[in-house]
Structure 1
Amino acid sequence: MTNALAYKKDFAFNAICPYYTMFPLEYPMRIMRKHRANSPVVVDPFCGRGTTIYAARRLGLTSFGFDTSPIAAAIAQAKLASAGLDEIVELGRALLAKKPKHVPNSAFFNRAFSKKTLTQICSLREGLLAEERPSHASALLRASALGCLHGPLITGEIPSYFSNQMPRTFSSKPAYSVKFWKERDLYPPDVNIIDVIKKKLARITDLESYPFGRLSNVKCSDARSSDSYRNIRSASLIITSPPYYGMRTYVQDQWLRMWFLGGSEDVDYEVDEQICHSSHQGFILDLARVWKNLAKRSENGAHLYVRFGTLPSAKSDAKELLLGSLEEAERWDLISVRNADTAHAGKRQADQMGQDSAPSEEFDFHAVLS
């Protein structure tokens, strides 16, 4: 997909932080262009890294998004921020000027980052965590730091990531990482993190474009809860991709970014505030709660577009699950179901994680509120 928007510099903002379950930017852009003349209010109740939010920004539309993952919410919120590169860099340098109160001293952290780099990361982390309310500059600084926190070792004057050799889309677990580095005699780069962040942000051409929405339009919240929709009055276009049945490790697979946002230095395997994955019926009922909440906050005739599939390892039928949830929600009339190609298309999860297993089949569902 060499012609995909993901590879074009004009859309580098959407890749401010790699996130391994995003759908391709082409999907929401195509739908929004179709409805753009009506100036729709766009909502994504499973916003992930904010691809729908960014597409709305590019097309001059107001959007709202929710996600239960703090990492996803932080990245998506940055898609509603506007600030100059100099302002962001100045904030970062101010936060680095203060010595951190705590620096992790585990085998993982000591081999993942150089001593100087880890100290800087901790200063930035503590400074951002101390904020009572994020500014546009801090939202962009936070998202770019998350994007640079770990990734492959790339030769060059200024590295692209802070860490020793790691995947860029998910965080490898501590014991595995340390063993991997020791076996290959790999050491982290000694970098100034502001230089790395500045390198990433300098590629983004629309940092200061008008964002068409407040930072508070994106929340770390549960789409099954009616409270998440409090600020939405008349949604008219919903574009989303719920977690596939059996996918329960979003936070665990992002544990290092979770630490940067205030989480534990160790992997937390507790699974909270996620859609039910213990049974097909429980999953259907939880999805239906989301569609019901959206119906209450949407105008008649609102359009719902859902990209949904199955994991190769999960014994489930994507059509059965999604159609069952719409039937349970009652007010959404199905218009069409189309094959959306495979999960390899558009830099999807299986491709980014380097898996050899067959990708999942995905479908695009379209429904209208009656």
Structure 2
Amino acid sequence: MTHNTRTKNVALAYSKENALNAICPYFTMFPLEYPAKVLNKHRKERPVVLDPFCGRGTTLFAARTLGLAAWGIDTSPVAVAIARAKLASCDTEEPLRLAERLISEVDPSEIPDTAFFRSAYHRDTLRNVCALREGLLNLGAETDASAILRAAALGCLHGPVPKHMENAGYFSNQMPRTYASKPDYAVRFWKERKLKAPRIDVIRVLRRKIERLVGLEQESPCPISQVLHGDAQSVEVFRSVSTAPSVVITSPPYYGMRTYVQDQWLRNWFLGGPDFIDYSAGPQLDHGGQSVFATSLGRVWRNIADSADSSETLHMYVRFGIIPSAAVDAKSIFKNSLEESGVPWRLVSTRPAKSADAGKRQADQMKAESAAAVEFDFHVERV
């Protein structure tokens, strides 16, 4: 299904044809409509698509639906794991057979025994989750089936508890679906409400998730290896981009937003990280001030231009925003980043984006209300 054929006034996120794009909800994600609209504009050119801040891979999924080759880059292992699933193709039974084998064969050597994990998961459920975790970590080679299983498990790792357990879609006690609550807060929340973690049939939940992935068996236009784990500020990561990009669609981290890693700490644990929150920043854009942030972003734009074919037009579409508390001019920061890149860019258009709240499917059980980010859509061309 393409952007032009979607049902009028119905968000693409709610279409069953796009279930693969929703395999794992992510706290900050732009709507599928944005890359779908851009790529429909360029589809006759058969562009190579690049998203240097690919997040959960919405741009890659949009490219896949149109049969276009795409590359993604992200510093977050959680983002990379989810994005790779958007380029995977396999029979729906393959990841389920792999899950059954890992749960039956793997005797997990590490089962966290903290107050959080004891309250977050039934002990039998946690055992099976840990078997999946260790089994996937120790696989000899990544396959499309393992990419789907990993992303599906990440998507089921935490979320709301239904009234009727036969409808369970998550492994955990009551939690948001898009981000992991802080352990101390979560334990207090559960104790105050006397909430106990339900015993979950992990395979059944995964089956409900994976069987909904319409189009999974259709051949993908490019391999999962075209999602790269790395920092787009680094020249090194771009050496692995073996086909020159011609259309870039991306949304850099909001200026002032520093909690991506911490918000995904539980999924990061599933991917081999610690069973506690790591508050170190890790590789990311420098949020120490507007000028250094613009310089960091400029390095990415320069790397993109250097990786593209100098004889062809390079289009870059950027949705860029700031968190309300930052109180700075997003348009000014973005324009400064273009200048910092040292690349001759022409600003084609600047438009206000829809509210970051538009169309969101946020689990609000454990999160206070907050204002939406201010966002703009920029289109620039390399001169």
State the partner residue of 1:165.
174
Q: 1:359 Cα deviation (Å)? A: 1.3
- Residues 1:310 and 2:319 aligned together: no
Q: Distance in 1 between matches of 2:229 and 2:59?
A: 16
Q: Distance in 2 between matches of 1:121 and 1:234?
A: 40
Residue of 42, 46, 50 corresponding to 2:57? 50
State the partner residue of 1:264.
274
Cα 1:2–1:354, aligned 2, differ >3 Å: closer, same or farther?
Answer: farther
Q: Which amino acid aligns with 2:163?
A: T
Q: Distance in 1 between matches of 2:185 and 2:24?
A: 23
Matches within 5 A, 1:324-335: 324-329=336-341, 330-335=343-348
Cα 1:227–1:133, aligned 2, differ >3 Å: closer, same or farther?
Answer: farther
Residue of 182, 186, 190 corresponding to 2:191? 182
- For residues 304-329 of structure 1, the C-alpha deviation after alignment (integer angstroms, 9 at most, x for no partner) is 00001110111221101111111222
- For residues 213-261 of structure 1, the C-alpha deviation after alignment (integer angstroms, 9 at most, x for no partner) is 1111001110001121122332100000000111111111111001000
State the partner residue of 1:226.
235
- Residues 1:155 and 2:163 aligned together: yes
Q: What SS does the corresponding residue of 2:152 show, helix, strand or coil?
A: helix
- Kept in 2: contact 1:169–1:352 (CA 8 A): no
Show structure 1 runs of 5+ residues with no match.
none
Q: TM-score, normalised by structure 2?
A: 0.93
State the partner residue of 1:294.
304
State the partner residue of 1:29.
36
State the partner residue of 1:100.
108
- Kept in 1: contact 2:177–2:362 (CA 8 A): no
Residue of 250, 254, 260 corresponding to 1:244? 254
State the partner residue of 2:354.
341
State the partner residue of 1:112.
120
- Residues 1:138 and 2:151 aligned together: no
Residue of 66, 70, 86 corresponding to 2:93? 86
- Kept in 1: contact 2:176–2:364 (CA 8 A): no
- For residues 102-151 of structure 1, the C-alpha deviation after alignment (integer angstroms, 9 at most, x for no partner) is 21111111110001100000000000000233110000000000000000
Q: Distance in 1 between matches of 2:281 and 2:303?
A: 23
Q: What SS does the corresponding residue of 1:61 show, helix, strand or coil?
A: coil
Q: Distance in 2 between matches of 1:191 and 1:351?
A: 22
Tell me which moved more, 324-333 or 305-314: 324-333
Q: Distance in 1 between matches of 2:216 and 2:163?
A: 27
Tell me which moved more, 42-51 or 317-326: 317-326
Q: TM-score, normalised by structure 1?
A: 0.97
Cα 1:204–1:172, aligned 2, differ >3 Å: closer, same or farther?
Answer: same
Q: What SS does the corresponding residue of 1:301 show, helix, strand or coil?
A: coil
Q: Which amino acid aligns with 2:300?
A: V
Q: 1:178 Cα deviation (Å)? A: 0.7
State the partner residue of 2:380.
367
Q: 1:333 Cα deviation (Å)? A: 1.4
Residue of 214, 217, 225 corresponding to 2:226? 217
Q: Which amino acid aligns with 2:375?
A: E
Cα 1:8–1:55, aligned 2, differ >3 Å: closer, same or farther?
Answer: same
Q: Distance in 2 between matches of 1:31 and 1:254?
A: 29
Aligned length: 370
Q: 1:202 Cα deviation (Å)? A: 1.3
Q: Distance in 2 between matches of 1:247 and 1:232?
A: 31
Q: What SS does the corresponding residue of 1:34 show, helix, strand or coil?
A: helix
- Kept in 2: contact 1:20–1:353 (CA 8 A): no
State the partner residue of 2:208.
199
Q: Distance in 2 between matches of 1:132 and 1:242?
A: 33
Q: Which amino acid aligns with 2:377?
A: D
Cα 1:306–1:359, aligned 2, differ >3 Å: closer, same or farther?
Answer: same
- For residues 272-292 of structure 1, the C-alpha deviation after alignment (integer angstroms, 9 at most, x for no partner) is 101000111110001000000
- Kept in 1: contact 2:160–2:363 (CA 8 A): no
Cα 1:352–1:43, aligned 2, differ >3 Å: closer, same or farther?
Answer: farther
Tell me which moved more, 121-130 or 229-238: 229-238
- Residues 1:278 and 2:288 aligned together: yes
- Which of structure 1's runs of 4+ aligned residues deviate more than 2 A? 348-358
Q: Distance in 1 between matches of 2:365 and 2:181?
A: 14
Q: 1:358 Cα deviation (Å)? A: 2.6
Q: What SS does the corresponding residue of 1:342 show, helix, strand or coil?
A: coil
- Kept in 2: contact 1:21–1:349 (CA 8 A): no
- Kept in 2: contact 1:103–1:122 (CA 8 A): yes
Q: Which amino acid aligns with 1:301?
A: T
Cα 1:250–1:102, aligned 2, differ >3 Å: closer, same or farther?
Answer: same
Q: Distance in 2 between matches of 1:183 and 1:85?
A: 40
Q: Distance in 2 between matches of 1:39 and 1:290?
A: 23
Q: Distance in 2 between matches of 1:343 and 1:351?
A: 15
CA RMSD of aligned residues (A): 1.7
Q: Distance in 1 between matches of 2:212 and 2:162?
A: 17
